[in-house]
A = this chain, B = another copy of it.
Amino acid sequence: MRIALLGGTGDIGEGLALRLPRDTDHEVVVGSRDPEKARDRAAAYEGELAERGIDTKINGFENPMAADRADVAVACVPAYHLADTVDAVADSLDDTILVSPAVGMQRDEVGMHYNPPGVGSVTALAADAAPEDVPVVGAFHGLAAGRLADLDADLGWDVPVVGDDEAAKATVTDLIDAIDGLRGLDAGPLAAAPEVESLTPLLINVAANNEGLADLGVKFD
C-alpha cells in the first residue's frame, strides 16, 4: 500500500515514516503544507534508515500531492490544524482511507484534560471535514512521539482503532499490526472515539506524576 503521512514532518509522522519502511513493504510518502520541508524531511528519514541498512525511497510532497493515490492518509497534525489539512487534500482522497490520530486536550494547573470539539471527538471532526465517501478511522492516538521515532526503542503498545467502515478499520488494524511492537484493537465505531482520545491526557498525567515513567503507551490485558 501507499501510506501518505500528511503533516508528516514531525511528531508521530516521523515515527511512522521510519517504522513503516523498516517493518513493512508499504510505500511511505511525506506530506507538508510546505513541499520543500516535506522533501527535506523525507530525505532525512531516508538517510536515517540508510544508516541502519534499510534502503528505501521516501518522497516528500505538498499535502494534496502526497494524498494523491494513497491507500491510507494519516493526518499527523494537531487537532486545530485537522480540518484545514483535510480540506486541503479533499480532492485527492478517492479510494483513500483517512486516519485521524489527533486529540483535543487542554492543560491547566493540575494536569492535562480531554477537551473534545463540539462534534464530540477529534475523529468526528475529521469525518465532518472529509468528503462523504471517504472512510475515516481514528487510530495512533497518544503514541509517545519521541519513543515512536526512536528506532532503538521497543514499543509493546496497544493501539485502539475506531470507525464506522469495517473494511477500512481492518486495513488500518493490519497496518498497525505490521509495525513491530504495536497491536491494533477494535475499540468500536466512530461514536466511541471520545473514550479512545481521552486516554492520551491520562498517559500524560501518569507520566508527569511518576518518577521514572515517560513516553508511555498502554497495553490492555
Contacts and interface: CB of A to CB of B under 8 A. Distances in A.
A160 B202 contact: yes
Given A185-B210, A187-B209, A202 B203 contact: no
A134 interface: no
B221 A205 contact: no
Contact of A196 (B189, B202, B210): B202
B205 A187 contact: yes
A217 B218 CA distance: 10
Given A216-B221, A221-B216, A195 B202 contact: yes
Oligomeric state, in copies: 2
A160 B194 contact: no
Interface in A174-221: 185-189, 191-192, 194-196, 198-199, 201-203, 205-206, 208-210, 213, 216-221
B199 A202 contact: yes
Chain A interface size band reads 35 or more
Nearest to A156: B221
B112 A195 contact: yes
Contacts of A219: 218-221
B220 A208 contact: no
A111 B208 contact: no
A83 B164 CA distance: 38
Contacts of A113: 192, 194-195
Given A195-B202, A202-B199, A205-B195, A111 B189 contact: yes
Interface of A: 108, 110-114, 156-158, 160, 185-189, 191-192, 194-196, 198-199, 201-203, 205-206, 208-210, 213, 216-221
Given A110-B189, A198-B198, A199-B199, 17 more contacts: A110-B188, A111-B195, A157-B221, A160-B206, A185-B206, A185-B209, A185-B210, A187-B209, A188-B205, A195-B198, A195-B201, A198-B202, A199-B202, A203-B220, A217-B221, A218-B218, A219-B220
